Structure 1
Amino acid sequence: MSKPACKKLLYVDDARYMHRVLKLSLPENYAIECVDNGLSALEIMQQQRFDIIISDINMPNMTGLELLSKIRQLPNYKKTPVLLMSAEENPDYRQQGKKLGADGFIIKPFKPDLIEQCLTTLLNKNSDA
């Protein structure tokens, strides 16, 4: 039985402990790159190609919503799935995220099986497009 193809995931969160939480929550078929702010995310996205992006919303200097807006302006990332994450259940975040092109929204703390299911669904949907 062959191993599933490795998917490159970019995780943006200023809470660095969440980097470890996410890495421990996902199976090995995800190559996870973690950065702690939107500017670093945009820089690394110029150097590497990611299959999916997860971003926290509440970050200093550039929010996840601002980052999402910038991501959608990049030609190579217009259709890349972006999942927003927040510790706050704020309907405005969902609404703004949807308007800006977010593909999903998860509340922290998250259940590992829920996030893996979300990622699988988004990646499958994106490969069908």
Structure 2
Amino acid sequence: MAEVLLPRKMEIANDPSKFGSPDPLHVLAVDDSHVDRKFIERLLRVSSCKVTVVDSATRALQYLGLGVEEKSVGFEDLKVNLIMTDYSMPGMTGYELLKKIKESSAFRQVPVVIMSSENILPRIDRYIFMIVVVI
């Protein structure tokens, strides 16, 4: 089984007061694939993370309180430490989600990891270029 290594995670788990917060790292995982969502969720929970999974970029924006239609309950106090998203999703890509998150003053500083199972080098290079331009 794969393991997700997060910086200082064991230290936080053993002595949360060292880092100022007793709360576990909260990761929002976004993927349209049910199998991939479950895999990511399991890996992160093994690493003692709090994990919220959603099946689309639109639902991620709603959860963060950035959606047009409905706001997340209590989103003003929402603490998300990391967002992991698939790049290729129907409706809105991970790149488009990244742009919307970075436009938000509330979540601009939250790191976003974009994942893809694609293995086409020119396409990967284009994704990296687009992401660097946004940030």
Normalising by structure 1, we get a TM-score of 0.71
Q: Secondary structure at the match of 1:68?
A: helix
Question: 2:86 pairs with 38, 49, 56, which one?
Answer: 56
One of 95, 98, 114 as aligned partner of 1:65? 95
2:49 to 15, 22, 30: 30
When residues 3 and 18 of structure 1 are mapped into structure 2, their CA distance, relative to the original with a 3 A threshold, is farther
Partner of 2:68: none
How far does the alpha carbon of each residue in 1:70-113 deviate from its partner, in whole angstroms, 9 at most, with x for none?
00011111111000000114211111122222xxxxxxxxxxxx
Q: Which structure features the higher share of strand residues?
A: 1
Structure 1 SS opposite 2:106:
helix
Q: Spell out structure 1 runs of 4+ moving beyond 4 A.
A: none
Counterpart of 1:14? 32
State the number of aligned residues: 101
| CA deviations over 1:31-58 (Å, ceiling 9, x no partner) | 0100011110011012233111001010
RMSD (Å) for aligned C-alpha atoms: 1.7
Alpha-carbon separation, structure 2, partners of 1:44 and 1:36: 11
* Amino acid of the structure 2 residue aligned with 1:93: Y
C-alpha distance in 1, partners of 2:62/2:106?
13
Normalised to the residue count of structure 2, the TM-score between the two structures is 0.69
Aligned partners of 1:65 and 1:100 also within 8 Å: no
Consecutive unaligned residues of structure 1, counting only runs of 5 or more, are 102-129
Unaligned runs of 5+ in 2: 1-12, 17-22, 66-74
